Amino acid sequence: VYGRSDLANKAIEEYRQAIEADPTSGYLTAGLAELYAKTGRIRDAVLEAQDILKRDPNNIEARKLLGRIYLRSLGDM
């Protein structure tokens, strides 16, 4: 039986494998960033969102994602 932490780690690993298969997918990278944020890994979440913006500085969805991550991190303070 998996615990919540085990399931989160399994989901993260699945996202990483998917990103390896399709490294330019902003959709997959955004999903991984959201997962990191939901599991409290804010720094990792920010880095993933910033990675999307490095590839596509005009990506509005990535900017909104980064804003949500920052907002979520305020709740953790």
How confident is the model over 55-73, as pLDDT tens digits? Answer: 999 999 999 999 999 998 8
pLDDT of residue 77 exceeding 60 = no
Gap between the Cα atoms of 2 and 76, Å rounded? 25
Look at residue 12 in the predicted model and tell me its pLDDT: 96
Distance CA 30, CA 47 (A): 10
Q: pTM (2 decimals)?
A: 0.86
Domain that holds residue 27: 4-75
pLDDT surpassing 60 at residue 43: yes
Counted domains in the chain: 1
- Model confidence at 53, in pLDDT bands (50, 70, 90)? very high
27: domain CATH number is 1.25.40.10
**Which residues are CB-contacts of 42 (< 8 A; sequence separation ≥ 6)?**
36, 69, 72, 73, 76
